[in-house]
Amino acid sequence: MQITVLSLVALIVALGCAPEPAPPPVLDSAPADLKASAAELYEQYGEAVRTSRREALPRFYHPGGALRVINGNTRRLTREGLDSMYGSTWTAPAFFAWEDLEYDSIAPGQVVVTGGFRWAAAANPDTARWLYAALLEATDSGLVIRFEHETPRSLR
């Protein structure tokens, strides 16, 4: 009995002196400067829209898909759905420009983007102004859009 008690005491002492376990690995590595990474993402995203590079547009979204609310209509799109939408039904604008985008880091690996954009359809002489909001998430490949909301700006 005495050996068992001594063994138990030795085990407790050894465990007490053991180094602290390492934190679990982070699967999605957030860019060091989320705001700068978000601004760069939107520079590239805007350029892809302006130059009608429809094949590049789905890559700005999360690999698992995204929730999009466009003019009050909600659609949850998979990556395949985004590929299909941009590959077939999306119509490139005659003019596109982001307006007053702001980037707010709200949590590790998450950025909220707010602002607007101007869009002119090819057949329309007027440029429409839209309000814009998005939630970006960090993945191993960088920031991507997980949620996006676009609505026409009122003329009031």
Q: pLDDT tens, 17-56? A: 544 444 433 334 455 689 999 999 999 999 999 999 999 9
- Position 124 scores a pLDDT of 80
Domain ranges of the chain: 27-152
Give the CA radius of gyration of the chain. Answer: 24
CATH number for 27-152: choose from 3.90.1170.50, 3.10.450.50, 1.10.10.60, 3.40.640.10: 3.10.450.50
Q: pLDDT tens, 81-135? A: 999 999 888 999 999 999 999 999 999 999 999 999 999 988 887 899 999 999 9
Question: What count of other Cβ atoms lies within 10 Å of the Cβ of residue 9?
Answer: 10
Question: Which residues pair with residue 152 across a beta bridge?
Answer: 130
Q: pLDDT confidence of 63, banded at 50, 70, 90?
A: very high
Both structure tokens of 13: 């002492």
Looking at per-residue confidence, does 104 or 11 come out higher?
104
Looking at per-residue confidence, does 70 or 12 come out higher?
70
Contact 52, 92 (CB under 8 A): yes
45 closest CA partner among 94, 81, 96, 82: 96
Cα 31 from Cα 37, distance rounded (Å): 7
Contact 18, 10 (CB under 8 A): no
